[in-house]
Amino acid sequence: MDRMDIFPTKILLATDGSEDAALATRAAADLSSRTGCELYVVHAWQFVAPHSAYPGEVLENHTRLNEQAAQELLTRQVNRIEEVGGTVANAFLRQGHQLMKS
C-alpha cells in the first residue's frame, strides 16, 4: 500500500478564531501542503439577541452585524493560511443550526 493512500484527500478546519484554533490552522495548513489535500475552512456562528424595547429592529441590525463579524473572522483565518503558504479550496460561513442542513 502506498503511504499516501492512508491520508485523506480533504481536510476540514473548523475555526472560532481562538488561540487553539490558530494552532489547528497552522497544523491543517502544514498537513495540507505536505500531502496535497484540499483544505476547507468553516466558521459557525450563532446569533444571541440582546434585550430591547424594539426587538424587530434590534434583531435585524444585530444579526447583520454578527454575520459581518463572523465573515471577517473567517476571512482572517483564510488569510493566515495563505500567509503561511497554504491554499484554501473553499471557506464556509454557517449560522447556528444551519450546520445540520447543508
Is 9 a member of any domain?
yes
Contact 96, 59 (CB under 8 A): no
**For residue 19, what is its C-alpha cell?**
488561540
d(CA 42, CA 99): 10
Total of domains in the chain: 1
Is 102 a member of any domain?
no
Q: What is the dihedral of CA 58, 48, 46, 30, to 10 degrees?
A: 100
Q: What is the pLDDT of residue 45?
A: 85
Q: What is the pLDDT of residue 1?
A: 45
State pTM to two decimals: 0.75
d(CA 64, CA 52): 16
Q: What is the pLDDT of residue 85?
A: 84
Length of the chain: 102
Q: In this predicted model, what pLDDT tens digit does every residue of 13-70 receive, in sequence order?
A: 999 989 999 999 999 999 998 888 999 999 998 876 666 656 555 666 777 888 999 9
Find the CATH number of the domain harbouring 26: 3.40.50.620
